[in-house]
Amino acid sequence: MAPFRIRFLIRSVYDLLPANANLGRYTWRHNRVLQELAAIISTVKGETTLPNTNALIFTTEGGAKSWQGRPVRTTNQIKCLLDGCDDWDVSADLPKWHSHPSIIKETSLRPDIVIHSASTQQLIMVELTVPYESRMEEAHVYNSEKYMNLTKEPENAGYKAVVMPVEVGARGFVGSSVYDLLTKLSICENKRKKALKLLAERAENSSRWIWSRRNERFLNKD
């Protein structure tokens, strides 16, 4: 492990991550983790469907989930959120990703990730928080209550909506909420393990980048 990374990890344990004066950079870290999570949801067997192309589509064949016709093993004991239809699209509140469906645009909502089925009028909205690890449980309870209201406007328009708040710690510890989300999307076993590792590394690397530039004047980065 690189000496710089070791110094960062040790100091992060003692709450020496960047001060609140650099709070603007935390949005940058959130977007980096969000980009990784959106790519994971849009990926199967290591093959990523790039944004700015056609819709990202989940399909179902004989009860086994597949991505654009490629089968993926699923866990029978856990009901998948994608059961019941085969036209799931994925969008993310990120530059260069295709935009959210019209049902979301017509409301005041800006969910981080939307998984949308037009045929069955279903929405799965994912809301990401990247808090300090000591606040992860608190953040999940707060967001679960706060984001309950996100379902009201789509439901008034005839949609069935689910909100999944998830947390990835600033030091790189991934919350159990992310594990649950991936499992309910049939991202299981080795794929889930790899996904959790990628999210952890993205959060840690982003925090380390912020810390390494804590004395620099903030420059906005997309």
Write out 183-200 in H/E/C secondary structure: HHCCCCHHHHHHHHHHHH
pLDDT, tens only, 109-131: 889 999 999 999 999 999 999 98
Q: Average of pLDDT values for 7-13?
A: 53
pLDDT at position 135 is 85
Contacts of 193 (CB under 8 A, 6+ apart): none
| Dihedral class, residue 197 (left if φ above 0, else alpha if ψ from -120 to 50, else beta) | alpha
- Please indicate, yes or no, if residue 182 is contained in any of the structural domains: yes
pLDDT(214) > 60: yes
Domain extent at residue 189: 29-44+55-212
- Please indicate, yes or no, if residue 15 is contained in any of the structural domains: no
- Please indicate, yes or no, if residue 13 is contained in any of the structural domains: no
- Please indicate, yes or no, if residue 12 is contained in any of the structural domains: no
Under a CB-based contact definition with an 8 Å cutoff, are residues 62 and 55 in contact?
no
Q: Which pTM does this prediction carry?
A: 0.74
Q: Which long-range contacts (CB under 8 A, 24 or more apart) does 184-188 make?
A: 184/78, 184/79, 184/80, 184/81, 185/41, 185/80, 185/81, 185/82, 185/115, 186/65, 186/72, 186/73, 186/74, 186/75, 186/80, 186/82, 187/40, 187/41, 187/72, 188/73, 188/74, 188/75
pLDDT at position 56 is 36
- Please indicate, yes or no, if residue 159 is contained in any of the structural domains: yes
pLDDT(170) > 70: yes
